[in-house]
Structure 1
Amino acid sequence: MPDRPEGTAIVHLGLGNFHRAHQAVYTARAMAEHGGPWGILGVANRSRSVVDAMLGQDLLYGVVEISPTGSKVGVPGSHTGVMVAAEDPEGVVAAIADPQVKIVTVTVTEHGYTFSPETGTLDVQSTSVQRDLADERAPLTTIGQIARGIALRARTHGAPITIASCDNVLSNGRRTGALVHEFLERAGATDVLDWLALSVQFPNSMVDRIVPASGDLYNEASSSALSATDSIAVPAEPFTMWVMEDLFAAGRPSWEVAGARFTSDVEPFELMKVRLLNGTHSLIAYLGALDGKGTIPDSTAESFVEGAARAVLVDEYLPTVPVPESVDIDDYIAQLFVRWSNSALGHRTSQVGSDGSVKLAQRIPAPALAHLRNGVVPQHLSLTVAAYLCCIAPPQNFDPGPHARAMADPARPRLAGLADSAASIEDFVERVFTDGDIFPSEIGEFVEFVSRTAEYVDMIVRHGPRAAAAEAATSSARYAAVHSPAVPAALH
C-alpha cells in the first residue's frame, strides 16, 4: 500500500471518478517520487456514498486500467480526508482558507460553474447563486465556496493560493478567475479584490482520460488484485493526459514526473480536447443511443456512426483548432478512434450524452459560427444538435430509446416544454435557438443552420439516425464541391 502523505496542501472540489483516476493519480506519483505535504482533502458536493466508502476503506481505492488486452490495478493513496460540502459548507470555506492549503483543484463538470451560456458571466438568475451571494458563511455553489474561502484567507493570514480548474470549460482558469472576481464584487467583498489580483493564480489546464461509471465488475477486479475489499474502484482507460500553465502562487507537486506537461499556452490543447475529442464524443453518444447502442465502442463499431464522427472531427472541428506543433494530428486522431473502440471499457452512451445542454454550449457555437461566417453550413454540427434534441426533448410520439431516456440534463424539463408546446418540429428548433438558453443568439440568426437542424430532427423522427447521418454525409460532399472547405484556424 502507498505511504501516507506528509500533510494536506490540496483541497479538491468534486470527489467523483474522474478526479480519483486523474489528479489523485498524478499527485500520488509525484509524492512517491519527491514526497511533500501534497495530500488531498476530497470534497463531494452532496452524495455521501463515496465519502462513506472511502472512510470505511482507510481512504484507499483501486484504479482499474482497462484495455482489450487486460487490466491492471493501482492504488493512488493521495487523500488525507473527505467530506460532503452540502453537510458542512462552512467547513469547506474553512478548508480553502487553511494556511496549510496551497491549491484548490476542481472537477464539477461544466454545469457546476454556474455561468450563463449566453454571456459567460455569473448566472445571477440562479437561485443557488443568489443564495450564496446573500449568505456569507455557508455557500453551496462551487464559485461561492471558492470566493468565500478566498475572502476568509485575505482577511486572516493572507497566504497565497492557486485555484486550478480541471473541467472541460474553455480557458477554464481565466473563466474561474473572472467568475470568482464577479462573485466577490456582487457580494460586496471589494476589500478582497486587490489581494486577489496579487496572491491568487488561476492557471488554465486541459485534462483527458476516459473514466466510465463504476460497477461491481471493477470492484471485483480491484478486490482480487489488492486482496482487500474495494467497493469504490474506479475504471479508466490506459491513456491519460494533463496539460497546464505553470502558474502556481504557493508551489505545487512535481506532477511532471507523472507525465503532466507544462506550457505557456494551454488553449490549443484545450481546443483539441473540447472539440476533437469531446465534441465528436457527443455525436457518437447521441447517434449511438438513438440507434439502440448502450456503449461508445458499440456505437463506434457502426459504420454510419464512425463515418459521421470522422466527418465532424476532420471537416468541421479540426479546421477551427490551432494544433500545437508538438502534436502529430494524424496520430492523435487515430488514437481517438482506438480509445473510442475500447470494448473492454464499455463507456456508456447515456453517461457521455448527459448534461449536453452545458457541454454543447462549449463545443458547438465557435466552430459552427466559423463555418457559417465562411458561407458553409456545417452539416455534422447541425446533426449533433438535432441528435441531442431527439435524445433529450423528443418530439411527440417519438421514442428515442432507453439509452437516450437515461441521459441526465438540467435543460430537459425546459426543452421538453418547448417541444410539447411547439406547433411543428421547425417551430420547436427555432425556439431552442431563441428561448432554449443553450446557444448564443448569434447562431439563431443563421436561418440556414436552424432550418437544417430542424430537417435533421425530422429525418431522425421519421427515418432514424442512420438516414440522417447519410443525408449529412451527402450534403457535406455537396457543400465541399462548391465551397472552400477550409476555415482559418484563427477563427477559433
Structure 2
Amino acid sequence: MTLPRLSNATLADLPAAVERPAYDRAAIETGIVHLGVGAFHRAHQAVYTDAVLKDDPRWGILGVSLRNPDTRDALEPQDGLYTVAAVDGAGARLKIVGSSTGLVVAPEDPARLVEILARPTTRIVTLTVTEKGYCHDPATGRLNESDPGIRRDLEHIDRPKTAIGFLAAGLKRRFEAGVAPFTVLSCDNLPANGETVKRILSRFAELVDPAFGRFVASEVAFPSSMVDRIVPATTEADHATIAAALGVADHWPVMTEPFSQWVIEDHFTLGRPDWASAGAEFVSDVKPYELMKLRLLNGSHSTIAYLGYLMGRGTVSEAMAVPALKQLVAGLMDEEITPTLPTLSGFDVGRYKRSLVERFENPALKHRTWQIAMDGSQKLPQRLLGTIRDRIAAGASFERLALGVAAWMRYVTGLDEDGAPIDVRDPLAARLKAIGEAGRGDARHMVAGYLEVREVFGADLAGHADFRATLERHLTKLLAQGARATVEGLA
C-alpha cells in the first residue's frame, strides 16, 4: 500500500501527538535566505524559526541548495514540510516543521538567486555550508585566493558558484543600488565564525572592487554564533519508522537528539526574529561558548570518530561502549581541554561535560563515526590543533589530543586495520592518501609528510619537535598494535 505524502493537505490527518505548525503558512513571508539546506539546518535553525512564526510571520526561510537538487526534489512535493524526530532511550518526539517558504537549487539559476539576495526584503542570510564551504585556509582563517571556485567567481561575479561568491554578488547589487546590506549569520563550526566570514568576504569583495570591499568591511553585520545539536544522516530505517508513526510518507525526515543550543551575538542591521523566545540565547560575546563547544564537543567527537572507526565501531554510541575509549574521552575533556577554556560566569562546565558523555552514549542516535570523520583537514585546526597550541604555550601535556590527530593520520591513509579501503571524504583526500602511501608504514616518514600540509598544521606545529615526536609515537602504536590496544595503553 502506497501511503499519501506529507503535505499541507495531509497535516490534519496526522496523529494528535505529532506537533505541527501553529500558524497560517500562507501568511509567511521570506525574510531569511539560508545557504546549505542540510539536515543540521533543518533540525536546528529552521526549528527555532518555526517556533516564532506564529507571532511574527516576516521571517520565513527560503532554502538554497548549492550543489544538487536532492533536498528540493524531496521536499517541494511536500510543500516544504518535513519531520524532525528528537530521539533518545525513551522514544521519539515528532514535530512537523513548516518554516520553509521555498527551496531553490543555485546551479540551476544562479542569476535568480543573486536577485533574491539583492531584494530589500531579504534581511538575513544564514549559512551551514561546512568548514570547507568557506573556501578559506583553515590554519589562518583567511580567504584561499587560489581556490578554483573563488578564482572562477571573481571572474564571473554575476553567476557565482560558491557560498562566498553568492554572498558577494547579492551584497554588490545592494551596494550599487543603495540598499542596506543583509546580515550574514554563519551557523558553522568555525572559530569566531562571524569574524572569520567577515575577513573572508571582505577580502573577496576587495578583490572585486576596493570600494565594495570597504562597504562590506564597514557596513555588513557578521554576528558570531555557536550552534549545538547532534544530527546524524537519515537512514532508510528512519524513513520507515517515521512513515509508520505519521501514517503518511515523509521523503526526507531528520533524526536528532532532544538537546539543542544556539548562542548568538546580538548584532543585526535589519532586525531579527525573536529566537530567544524559542530558547536561543543572545549575548555580547559568543567566543567563550564557541570555544567550549568546539573543543569539548567537537574535539571529543572527532577523536571518538577516528579511533572508533579504526576499532570497527560504526556509531558514536558503539565507540563509547568501549570502556577504554570512554575513559580516554573523559581524561581528554577534564585534563587537557578544560584548562584551556575561559571561565564562563554562571555556566557549569562539569555538568556540560557530563551531558556530553550522555549524549555521546545515546543508543537511539545512530551517529556514524564515518560521517563525523569527513573533512578532517578542515576540522582539525578548530577542533584539536588550537587546543594543542594552547597546551604547548602552557608547557602542559597534550597526549590525548595528539592521539586524536595521529588517529586522523592513520584514517586518511585510506586503509583500515584489516586492509579494507576507507571511503575518505576530504578536500585533500588524494594528497593525504599519497602521503600515507609514500610513508610505506613508517610512522616517522608519514608524520613528516602530513606535517608539511601547512594549510592544516601551519608552520609552528610542523616545527615543534615535541609535537612531532608525540605524533610519531602514537602513530607507530596505531600502525603496529591497532586503535583499541593503543587507547587501552593510554586511557
TM above 0.5: yes
Equivalent of residue 223 in structure 2, options 194, 203, 211:
203
CA–CA separation in structure 2 for the residues paired with 1:112 and 1:387: 24
The answer to whether structure 1 residue 341 and structure 2 residue 358 are counterparts is no
Report deviation, 1:190: 2.1
Counterpart residue identity of residue 44, structure 2: H
Q: Does 1:160 align with 2:181?
A: yes
Residue 32 of structure 2 is matched in structure 1 by 10
Aligned twin of 1:118 = 139
CA distance in 2, matches of 1:368, 1:252: 37
SS in 2 for 1:364: helix
Alignment of 1:22-61 (within 5 A): 22-32=44-54, 34-61=55-82
Q: Structure 1 residue 401: deviation in Å?
A: 5.4
Residue of 240, 254, 276 corresponding to 1:220: 240
Report if the CA contact (8 A) 2:303-2:407 is conserved: yes
Separation (CA, whole Å) in 1 of partners of 2:92 and 2:424: 28
Shift in CA distance, 398/229, structure 1 to aligned 2, threshold 3 Å? closer
Identity value in percent: 38
TM-aligned CA deviation for residue 301 of structure 1: 0.9
Show the counterpart of 2:408: 388
**Structure 1 counterpart SS, 2:326:** helix
1:259 maps to amino acid: G
Distance 2:233 2:379 in 1: 18
How far did 1:49 drift?
A: 1.2
- Alignment of 1:467 onto 2:488: no
- Partner residue, 2:458: 440
| Structure 2 counterpart of 1:449, from 467, 480, 487 | 467
Deviation at 1:133, TM superposition (A): 1.0
Q: What is the CA distance between 1:6 and its match in structure 2?
A: 2.2
* 1:271 aligned onto 2:291: yes
What does residue 383 of structure 2 align with?
363
For 1:332, the equivalent position in structure 2 comes to 352
Deviations 1:385-424 (A, max 9, x none): 11111111158x954657xx14422222111111222363
Residue 427 in structure 1 maps to residue 445 in structure 2 = yes
Paired residues in the alignment total 468
Q: CA deviation at 1:218?
A: 2.4
Partner of 1:408: 425
Write out per-residue CA displacement over residues 159-207 of structure 1, whole angstroms, 9 at most, x where no aligned residue: 23110000000100111111110001112x2232443345421000000
Query: Quick check: 1:146 aligned with 2:171?
Result: no
**In structure 1, what is the Cα distance between the partners aligned to 2:232 and 2:302?**
15
1:199-225 residue CA offsets vs partner (Å, 9 max, x unmatched):
421000000000000122322333334
1:179 is the counterpart of 2:200: yes
Residues 251-270 of structure 1: matches in 2 within 5 Å? 251-270=271-290
SS at match of 2:389: helix
Residues 81 and 157 of structure 1, relative CA distance in 2, 3 Å threshold: farther
The alignment partner of 1:11 has SS state of: strand
In the alignment, the residues of structure 1 paired with residue 427 and residue 231 of structure 2 have an alpha-carbon distance, to the nearest angstrom, of: 21
Q: Would the aligned equivalents of 2:207 and 2:213 in 1 still touch at CA under 8 Å? A: no
> Aligned to 2:160, what secondary structure does the other structure show?
coil
Q: 3-state DSSP class of the match of 1:316?
A: helix
Q: Aligned with 2:62: secondary structure? A: strand
Using the alignment, how far apart are the partners of 2:268 and 2:245 within structure 1? 37
What is the identity, as a one-letter code, of the residue corresponding to 1:459? K
Conservation of the 8 A alpha-carbon contact between 1:181 and 1:193: yes
- What SS does the corresponding residue of 2:107 show, helix, strand or coil? coil
CA gap 1:354/1:194 in 2 versus in 1, 3 angstroms: closer
Aligned to 2:311: 291
Secondary structure of 1:268's aligned partner: helix
| Partners of 1:95 and 1:399 in 2: CA distance | 51
DSSP-derived class of the 2:363 partner: coil
- Cα distance change, pair 258–407 in 1 and its aligned pair in 2 (3 A): farther
CA distance in 1, matches of 2:188, 2:419: 29
The answer to whether the aligner puts 1:75 opposite 2:96 as a matched pair is: yes
RMSD: 1.7
- Residue type of the partner of 2:171? I
Counterpart amino acid of residue 35 in structure 2: L
C-alpha displacement of 1:308? 1.3
Alpha-carbon shift at residue 305 of structure 1 (Å): 1.0
1:290–1:400 contact (8 Å) kept in structure 2: no
Query: Structure 1 CA distance, aligned partners of 2:215 and 2:414?
Result: 49
Encode CA deviations 1:4-61: one digit per residue, 9 max, x unaligned: 15210100000000000111000010112x1221111100111211111111111111
Any idea what the Cα deviations from partners look like across 1:354-394, whole Å, max 9, x if unmatched? Answer: 11111112122221112222333410111001111111115
**Alpha-carbon separation, structure 1, partners of 2:388 and 2:215:** 39
Is contact 2:203-2:213 (8 Å) kept? Answer: no
Which among 375, 398, 405 is matched to residue 395 of structure 2? 375
Residues 462 and 468, structure 2, Cα contact 8 Å, conserved in 1 = yes
Amino acid at match of 1:129: I
Q: Name 2:106's counterpart in structure 1.
A: 85
**Contact kept in structure 2, 1:415 and 1:432, CA below 8 Å:** yes
1:100 — aligned with what? 121
User: Which residue does the alignment assign to 2:333?
Assistant: 313
1:336 maps to amino acid: L
The Cα offsets for residues 439-488 of structure 1, whole Å up to 9 and x where unpaired, read as 11101121121121122111111111122223334xxxxxxxxxxxxxxx
Corresponding residue SS for 2:136: coil
Distance 1:420 1:102 in 2: 49
* Equivalent-residue separation in structure 1 for 2:266 and 2:433 (angstroms): 44
Amino acid at match of 1:427: H
2: CA distance, partners of 1:452 / 1:98: 54
Kept in 2: contact 1:212–1:345 (CA 8 A): yes
- In 2, Cα distance between equivalents of 1:257 and 1:15: 23
For 2:53, what is the secondary structure of its paired residue? Answer: helix
- Whether the 8 Å CA contact 1:204–1:244 is kept in 2: the answer is yes
130-139 or 419-428, which moves further after superposition?
Answer: 419-428
* TM-score in terms of structure 2 length: 0.92
CA contact (8 A) 1:351 1:407 kept: no
Per-residue Cα deviation, 1:103-127 (whole angstroms, up to 9, x for no partner): 0000011111111123321101211
CA contact (8 A) 1:40 1:81 kept: yes
Tell me: CA distance 1:257–1:401, structure 2 relative to 1, closer, same or farther (3 Å).
Answer: farther
Q: Which amino acid aligns with 1:355?
A: D
Task: Check conservation: 1:243, 1:266, Cα contact below 8 A.
Answer: yes
**Is the 8 Å Cα contact of residues 39 and 233 (structure 2) preserved in structure 1?**
yes
TM-score where L is the length of structure 1: 0.92
**Letter of the aligned partner of 2:135 in structure 1?**
T
Q: In structure 2, list runs of 5 or more residues that go unmatched.
A: 1-10, 12-20
1:177 and 1:296 mapped to 2: Cα distance? 34
Q: Which runs of 5+ in 1 are unaligned?
A: 474-492
